Amino acid sequence: VRLALPDEMTFLLTGVRYVPDLKKNLISTGQLDDQGFHTGFEDSRWKLLKGAKVILKGQKIDTLYTLYVSECHSHVVAITELPRISLWHSR
């Protein structure tokens, strides 16, 4: 998924999962960490860094840290349906 940011920069998210009924998009800080990014949270603000360079930044609204994007360009390459918890536990 390629994000078009308000400052005309773009950011590519890889390893994205498609959840059809989800009304908000979520970003996994764990996956970003695995890709060598550092995420900092302080004073109701957050930022994503690669080395000393700030890649993304946002603010906390209620209990969620948000990111504003101008556009989100995505192409679903593969959809994996995970087993439901009840199905998993009945095995």
pTM over 0.75: no
For residue 53, is pLDDT > 50?
yes
| 8 or 45, higher pLDDT | 45
- Closest C-alpha to 3, from 83, 58, 43: 58
More confident residue, 13 or 60: 60
Q: In the predicted model, what is the mean pLDDT of the chain?
A: 76
Q: What is the pLDDT of residues 33-46, one digit of tens each?
A: 988 999 999 999 99
The two tokens of residue 82 are 């995970």
**Residue type for 74, please?**
S
Residue 38: predicted pLDDT: 92
